[in-house]
Chain A
Amino acid sequence: MKLIRTRREKLVFEISLPERRLLFEVLKLHPLISATHYRLSKTARSAKHDENQRLLEESLAAQRQENRKNVRAMLNEAGRFQAAASGFQLTLSGPEIEWLLQVLNDVRVGSWIALGAPDPEQGKKTTFDEKTVPHFRAMELAGAFETVFLDALSGHAPG
């Protein structure tokens, strides 16, 4: 998958059939992170904080639902992937790439959490087995697609 051109503030990507299958596979995993995973504060303890924490969780849940709706619409939208000689052309606006990045990083971080939040630099490793390999796969695929979109946004089309 690579950026081939920009057109009227939209970015046009070339994506092969196998790449599109992998992109769909990753997007369908969203959402992976629970809305209750993140805390507003590590130290605050008060009734007001608890209420603010609840509001944050509600807001994150609503935002994930909106992103999920966007994913479904994209996967089902006729003409979103235009047939081309090398596979397809996918046209995305800047805001669409932003929510795609949110979705992809939800899958990446959610897969990492499912693996036990490994951190090789801190000696916290995980093993490869039939249970963990799907999480590794999702984490790496999400990261690969993130890189394509980030390179496109920064004006450097990957080769």
Chain B
Amino acid sequence: MATTATPEIQPGIHRDEEPDSRTDLEPGYRVICWNDPVNLMDYVTHVFQVVFGWQRQKAEVHMLQLHNQGKSVLTRESMEKAEFYVHQLQKYSLHATMERD
């Protein structure tokens, strides 16, 4: 049985000629909170809720991860947004940094 060749580019589908590149706009930065044992557990939970707009349950999961494992990766963001979140967390005197993936 004869077959028809599949066109390399389907009609209506645009092929991006530019190669993918990692830029500061990509979510290539992890926002990490590190455990300082002085911080109250309820305080950390509250700050996560305020800064990220999370429900209490999600904030508690990250707080417990921080407490038990010494750190918690809170989100992955672009450089600019990661800087924003680190600043917000540090305003509350939480030990937060941003690290490249």
Contacts and interface: CB of A to CB of B under 8 A. Distances in A.
Main secondary structure of the interface of A (DSSP, over half): helix
Contacts of A154: 42, 46
Contacts, number: 70
A112 B36 contact: yes
Contact of A105 (B50, B92, B99, B100): B92
Interface string A74-103: 000000000000000000000000100110
Contacts of A153: 46
A14 interface: no
A139 interface: yes
A53 to B, nearest CB: 10
Contacts of A40: 83, 86, 97-98
Interface in A95-122: 98, 101-102, 105-106, 108-110, 112, 117, 119, 121
A92 B83 CA distance: 30
B90 A38 contact: yes
A157 interface: no
A102 B91 CA distance: 7
Interface string B87-101: 100111101111110
A40 B32 CA distance: 10
Given A38-B95, A56-B86, A60-B87, A43 B100 contact: yes
A47 interface: no
Interface of B: 36-40, 42-43, 46, 50, 83, 86-87, 90-93, 95-100
22 contacts: A39-B97, A41-B100, A42-B99, A44-B99, A56-B83, A56-B87, A60-B87, A60-B90, A60-B91, A101-B43, A101-B92, A105-B39, A108-B38, A109-B38, A109-B39, A110-B93, A112-B38, A117-B36, A117-B38, A121-B37, A150-B42, A151-B42
